[in-house]
Amino acid sequence: MQHSGLMDISQLRTLAHIAELGSVSKAADRLNIAQPALSRQIRLLEQELGTYLFERHGRGMVITDVGREVLAHAVRIMAEMDAIRDTVAAGRTSFRGSISIGTTPTVAEIVTVPLATRLRQEHPNLSLRLSSAYSGHILDWLQRGQIDVAVSYNPSRSHTVRIVPIMLESLLLITAGQRRLGETVPFSRLAEEELVLPSPGHMLRDIVDNCARRAGIRIRTVIEADSFQTLINLVRTGLGATVLPLAPIYTMVEAGVLSASRLTDPAPTRELVVAYAADRPVSLAARFVGQTIVEIAMDLARRGIWVGQVLEPAKELTEQAHPEPSP
């Protein structure tokens, strides 16, 4: 293989996406770049390095051991490029333009108002575009460049996405009634409930089904509904119980419209994260938005509104943004 030219950042980005997807055509679809152009980028990179980075076969492309080593360097290089941009932009104090955020429906219920309020106060020239969908769709939008910041649950780790874990969110048994949060019940109790849950394939339903298997019980789902608001309406009218985080329904629990009970043996949880693209520049405004979402989540967790265990990366991120004053 002959030496040819100089590698560039676009080749490293292409390497990361093809390695993750195992296919040039899938990477071309995600990046919205013609397939021949991506194939040429990888071919030139292989010529430059003098080695094959992928094994080609009829079902796609599999990264080689050498390719994995190159990919590890590529990820670090892309992170360093971001750090250089941050250094140059660090003096700017007011953000302009537009930031696009993708969240799940339950997260949208929690963070939209406090996030928009803080941005309006601190950066009035920065506009927001908010989109809501399932976690898988949100991360796909992020990797396609359709959004700048993603707030998602239980993401698969990827070289093309930079993830900051925020909290291990607790999922509670939600019923109609007057009791406030406090009671703890074994998960096996759900065998006695008529449940309204999302359909199979929805992350929340998968978590409940998995916990039911671990508890050795069979649950009875009387109504399937994928809409968060529909689930709430069904529970409020007494048509069944459901499993949800506390934060988006906290005011209804406080008002006695709904009851929330902690579940144990096992306790259903899911990991909440904020995510950015790892293969392209991330603006300081996008980082500020992500940081603000982390701070909102941590504040609500401290106040007992968002029930869950705050994770170390979120604590470290907040400490870096708001260091303790020197004595």
For 110-126, write each residue's pLDDT tens digit. 999 999 999 999 999 89
Instruction: Using alpha carbons, list the distances in angstroms from residue 68 to 33, 37, 49, 62.
Output: 23, 22, 13, 10
| pLDDT for the residue 70 | 86
Exposure letters 57-70 (e unless 16+ CB within 10 A, then b): eeeebebeeebeeb
| pLDDT for the residue 240 | 95
For 194-230, write each residue's pLDDT tens digit. 999 999 989 999 999 999 999 999 999 999 999 999 9
| pLDDT for the residue 87 | 59
| pLDDT for the residue 290 | 94
Nearest-CA neighbor of 8 among 34, 62, 44? 44
| pLDDT for the residue 223 | 96
> Rounded to an integer, what distance in angstroms lies between the CA atom of residue 98 and that of residue 127?
5
> Rounded to an integer, what distance in angstroms lies between the CA atom of residue 230 and that of residue 91?
46
| pLDDT for the residue 131 | 94
| pLDDT for the residue 326 | 43
Structure tokens at 72: 């590890």
Q: In this structure, are residues 16 and 159 in contact, taking their beta carbons and an 8 Å threshold? A: yes
Structure tokens at 122: 């601190």
| pLDDT for the residue 291 | 92
| pLDDT for the residue 152 | 93
Residues 6+ apart with CB under 8 A from 259: 174, 175, 176, 177, 178, 179, 180, 183, 253
Q: What is the CB neighbour count within 10 angstroms for residue 77?
A: 13
Q: In this structure, are residues 208 and 240 in contact, taking their beta carbons and an 8 Å threshold? A: no
Q: Residue ranges of the alpha helices (H) in 50-123? A: 65-89, 105-122
Q: List, for the chain, all residue ranges whose pLDDT scores fall below the cut of 50.
A: 1-4, 325-327
* Domains contained in the chain, CATH given: 9-88 (1.10.10.10), 94-167+270-321 (3.40.190.10), 172-267 (3.40.190.290)
Cis status, amide bond into 266, omega within 30 of 0:
yes
| pLDDT for the residue 327 | 44
Strands (E), 148-287: 149-153, 161-170, 172-176, 184-186, 194-197, 220-224, 242-244, 258-264, 269-277
Q: Backbone phi, then psi, for 56, in 5-degree steps?
A: -95, 135
> Rounded to an integer, what distance in angstroms lies between the CA atom of residue 271 and that of residue 135?
11
> Could you give the count of Cα atoms lying within 13 Å of 212 in the half-sphere of its Cβ?
17
